[in-house]
Amino acid sequence: MPNAAERAGEPYFPMTSIDLKPRAGTLSRIRVNGIDRPVAIEPDRSLLVALREELGLVGTKYGCGEGECGACKVLLDGVAVRACITPLGEAIGRSVTTIEGLAMGDRLHPVQQAFLDAGAFQCGFCTPGMIVSVTSLLSRTPRPSEEEIVAALNGNVCRCGGYLRILDAIRRVSVGSSAVEKGSP
């Protein structure tokens, strides 16, 4: 049975076993990871719900649902936002980049590669939000100070306590900041 994206004639990247169903509501389009995608706009519907349930992009995590943990962060016009508290309507006419959209084909984004090289994850649940936050920071500040790094990660919770490796990954990638600037979406 075709999913919502296939019925709309859009490319679909299978990443989940969730049965994607079209939703009721006013149909609109948002640009996600460089592709215009149809979504149903409903009052009080979050960007996170549309990404995960309608578009099948489950790399962005549902953590707290209150904008406190940072697991749901995506880039909205290059700025890290908490998708669980961002109304879907705010994404209309803007560019959304999820963790899935950072890699360039088979090549990881430099921030993703730095996290992998540093072993900057344990359970991995916080990792997408952390990577998105760091990508946003480094696009604005290629060589951040320790204080700027801590400020950018404020609101991102790692329940496993992997902060030292996360900081190591950020230091690694900021040293090679020209690669980050070229690799930014």
Distances (CA, A) of 135 to 29, 54, 80: 25, 25, 8
pTM: 0.81
Closest CA to 133 of 123, 120, 10, 122: 120
CB atoms within 10 A of CB 34: 10
* Mean pLDDT confidence for 87-101: 95
Instruction: Identify the band that residue 21 occupies on the pLDDT scale cut at 50, 70 and 90.
Output: low
Is 30 in a helix, a strand, or coil? strand
Give pLDDT tens digits for 24-65. 668 889 999 999 999 988 878 999 999 999 999 999 999 999
In tens, the pLDDT along 113-136 reads 999 999 998 899 999 999 999 999
Contact 84, 66 (CB under 8 A): yes
CATH architecture of 110-183: Orthogonal Bundle (1.10)
pLDDT in tens, 141-175: 999 999 999 999 999 999 988 899 999 999 999 97
Task: Provide the CATH number for the domain formed by 4-101 in this structure.
Answer: 3.10.20.30
pLDDT at 23: 58
Question: How high is the pLDDT of residue 181?
Answer: 47
pLDDT band, residue 177 (cuts 50/70/90): low
Amino acid letter at 150?
V
Higher-pLDDT residue of 177 and 68 is 68
Domains of the chain, by residue range, sit at: 4-101, 110-183
Which is more confident, 99 or 3?
99
